Chain A
Amino acid sequence: MAKIPLVFKVNGEQQEILVQPYQTLLSALRDELRLTGTKEGCSNGNCGACTVIVNGRTADSCLVLAAEANGAEVTTVEGLSQNGQLHPVQKAFMKYGALQCGFCTPGFLLSAKYLLDSNPNPTEHEIRLAIAGNLCRCTGYDKIVRAIQAVAQAEV
């Protein structure tokens, strides 16, 4: 199969690459652009480690074909901090111990950012619902929920 061109914006930068028709957005980010901050945990949309934001909404990048992202704007964990300043969710995850091994962390950060962008004052249940698609095996979620609460309450 011949490769097909993919033109899209990743973390604000224009990218033009060639991808296989069967290649996922996750693979395009990791293997072609070497943005390895986005993680692969299950390859079938169950763990959320590959969560990125596509055109303003979260998506499991392992379930999106790279070609589908043509013309899209994609934000990965590498694009969360702006002008050398960490995003509040990044600061909160550090301060409140919301990560241990760190493998699921990029996915959680993007789910958290998406939640807070669309609902700046979520309840605990709304937070838990927003991150229910992201599995974490280290933290028991407690400190992740509290970190997101802290961002909402501007305690970072």
Chain B
Amino acid sequence: MTSKYKYLGKTTEAVDALEKVIGKAAFGADIHLPGMLYGKVLRSPHPHAKIKSIDYSKALTLEGVKAVITSKDLPSLEDARASFGGELTMDLGQIRKLLLADGKTLFDGHAIAAVAATSLEIAEQALELINVDYEILPVIENALQAMRPDTPLIHPDLYTRTLGEKPKAPSNIGTMLEHQRGDPEKGFAEADVVVEESFETAMVHQGYIEPQACAAWADGDGKVTVWTSTQGIFNTRDQIAALLKITRGRLNVVPMEIGGGFGGKNDNLLQTLTVMLAQKTGRPVKMIMSRDEVFRATGPSSPAYFTVKVGAKKDGEITAAYIKMIYDSGAVPGGPLHLGWVASCGAYSIPNLKIDGYDVVSNKPRVQPYRAPGVTPVVFAIETTMDILAEKLGMDTLKFRLRNCAKEGDYMPDDQKYARIGLKEVLERVASHPHWNTPLEGPNRGRGLAMGMWTGATLSSSALVMVNGDGSATGVSGQVDLTGTRTTTRQIIAEALQLPLEKVQVRVADTESTPYTMTSVGSRTTYAFGTAVYRACQDALAQMKARAAPQLLVDVGDIEYAEGKFWSKKDLEKAVSWNEVARNTQTRGEGMVTGRGSATRLPIAPEFNAHIVDVEVDPETGKASIKRWTAVQDAGLAVNPMQVEGQMQGGVTQGIGWGISEYYYYDKGKLRNPTFLDYRMPTSLDVPMIDTSIVEVPAPDGPYGIRGVGEACIVCPPAAIASAIYRATGVRMNKLPMTPEAVFWAIKAKEKQLVAADGH
């Protein structure tokens, strides 16, 4: 790839890489404060139970125990309906329910109490001395059970949110969504072929390797400092401030390096408990989750159920589609229904569409976003249906998609109109790719294809760019760097100010030192935060020009800048260097230069992709082995191609886990596999090299045509693998994960059917 830019579109080493390879990068658990206490949480072993009493008097008598907290230590809320969060918002009242069980436990792992003690061992011993009297309630295991009219209510005060009138009775359905465009009935009537299928997907975890960790300290006059790995320091600050009634300015959140988040580090529950213990003891407190707690008590993804019906004419044109989507949100409402809906069949141009959606509670942890929240399950359902439809039409699966793919001017499932998008270019790249054009070799092999999209969040962002006296520049923001933001920010500043990379420093600072910026989610940082950075650079440049003008005795409007030099358009002899203007800012005229940039409510820059996979299915065991993978994605402009590839490869691998090996195994509401041994994420032996192919169709809004890239890459893998398994074995897999056992039994069932059909 060649780039027309000097610093963008070029691979550079990550700015944070050195610290990370020498072991100096400080993550949440690496902080150590003098006189620090250790906190630990008592968690409910019961998925659904009334708490009749909590007696922690014995725990307090244990030498070294400094404080115990329960929901009784929480202040009451003035506005329980105020919403917080990043991609998936929650009412404050619901967050409070999750933070510490208030009269009732809602899932296996729900926090009941927390202890601070002089050592971790003492804190753990103290937990055993807390006596909780439970009254066991019936367990509502999943959304389907929760929706049945005879199922007990989890929240007696939960009334379904709908566009229509408020329902008369409470239910386990948090939200009901109905959406229609065109005339689906007429559309299905016009179709020559109609396919209808049902699907089910499992609850999976983001699987970040770093468990949640936090340290907090409240000083003498009550000012609180929090050190933590979170996806959004301002979200952390604002949520804790609201729950504990602290003025935002008196609560400073310091970002530590974050060891993976993928959406899962937005809940801020552990952070709030840590602050409560720090306040109660007056001493620094550190809390780190165990892996068991991470699985049981953080927010995994939403398990979901779908019915998909699609009709098409003989020539392949889709005439109508119907999607029923049920997302299980876990303990309190607010799963990814909305996000799943908006992106669902967004890769297709569908004239007549009806979508019914349900967000349903159950006795499981409250879900959090997981990379393109809600979209991977629905794309699995839609793409599998489309694959079946193409086959029934006798059409090549790729040609069918090229025939129906969404283009500029088409409408998303929520009726937003697409600006320029790159899906067609992605599919054309697939068509010409060597992988697609190389015949499969060997028995039991199949090749699958799937396409999908992620809408892309934008939210609100801000950044500062300061020009230093030696002409170097420092970019400062509170935007948490998950995997590369500092590196791409440095490139954007270098490009915008035309300064060499080594003269640009980038820093993520705390909430006290930086203007408000929202959490790092939704593929929004390079695009939306990048826009704020770009604007800060433009502001800094304008200020520099204003300072150069009097030095050159010309009007500011006549000043040009390029490559470290200001000059007058009217008199090229009149010139002054960037460095000299920078030096003078420290002593003269208007003074120091700080560029400010914000971006709110930017138009979206959707990301599209398609994946090709070859699998080999062992007929003896049902195991699907991934033999070859190619991911093709539109990045708009790949600011740092190596990082874009890395995002794509990581997303593919998480998608492979989602497709074939990962699932929460619940047994009557109790999680039976909360370890990395029993919850199987892909290892290096489970995946091949992952080929990437980057397409660049510039996004029309925002600087340089940049699109987000981090999330679309996870939505295709389960669908692509299912398609490949079908071509290898002849069985359709409509349920995730497609474990060896599931594939094996599907093959056996198919053989039985064939035998029966033969009349034996």
Interface residues of A (CB under 8 A from B): 20, 22, 30, 34-44, 46-47, 49, 76-78, 80-81, 86, 90, 93-97, 99-106, 109, 124, 127-129, 131-146
Contact = CB atoms under 8 A, between A and B. Distances in A.
B207 interface: yes
B260 interface: yes
Nearest to B12: A97
Contacts of B257: 101-103
Nearest to B21: A90
Interface in B23-81: 23-27, 29-30, 32
B259 interface: yes
9 contacts: A36-B26, A41-B259, A47-B209, A78-B24, A90-B21, A94-B13, A103-B209, A128-B684, A145-B684
Contacts of B211: 40-41
Contacts of A128: 684-685
Contact of A97 (B30, B121, B645): B645
Q: Which 6 A-B pairs have the closest CB atoms?
A: A37-B23, A103-B259, A102-B20, A140-B653, A140-B649, A46-B676
Contacts of A81: 22
B99 to A, nearest CB: 24
Nearest to B640: A97
A122 to B, nearest CB: 12
Contacts of B675: 42, 44, 46
A128 to B, nearest CB: 4
Contacts of A49: 209
B290 A43 contact: yes
Contacts of A137: 206-209, 260, 262, 650, 653-654, 681
A21 to B, nearest CB: 11
Given A37-B23, A86-B21, A99-B14, A135 B683 contact: yes
Contacts of A132: 683-685
Contacts of B19: 102
Given A41-B211, A132-B684, A100 B483 contact: yes
A109 B21 contact: yes
B209 A37 contact: no
A37 B23 CA distance: 4
A13 to B, nearest CB: 15
Contact of A44 (B22, B259, B260, B677): B677
Contact of B260 (A76, A90, A138, A145): A138
Contacts of B732: none
Interface residues of B, number: 56
A138 B646 contact: yes
A140 B23 contact: no
A101 B208 contact: yes
B676 A129 contact: no
B652 interface: yes
B646 A139 contact: yes
A44 B23 contact: no
A145 to B, nearest CB: 7
A139 to B, nearest CB: 5
B646 A35 contact: no
A86 B250 CA distance: 42
A94 B23 contact: no
Nearest to B29: A40
A52 B209 CA distance: 17
Contact of A80 (B18, B22, B210, B645): B22
Nearest to B677: A46
Contacts of B649: 139-143
B687 interface: yes
B291 interface: yes
Contact of B689 (A93, A104, A145): A145
B209 A94 contact: no
Contact of B259 (A35, A38, A101, A129): A101
B642 interface: yes
Contact of A101 (B121, B210, B676, B690): B210
B21 A139 contact: no
A77 B23 contact: yes
Interface in B440-483: 482-483
Contacts of B16: 102
A37 B24 contact: yes
Given A37-B22, A97-B645, A129-B684, 13 more contacts: A30-B30, A41-B676, A44-B675, A97-B14, A100-B484, A101-B257, A101-B259, A103-B27, A103-B259, A138-B646, A140-B650, A140-B652, A140-B690
A76 B23 CA distance: 9
B260 A103 contact: yes
Contacts of A131: 684
Residue among B11, B209, B651, B677 with the highest chain A CB neighbour number at 10 A: B209
Residue among B23, B25, B288, B654 with the highest chain A CB neighbour number at 10 A: B23
Interface in B657-701: 675-677, 681, 683-685, 687, 689-690
Contacts of B25: 102
B676 A135 contact: yes
Nearest to B631: A140
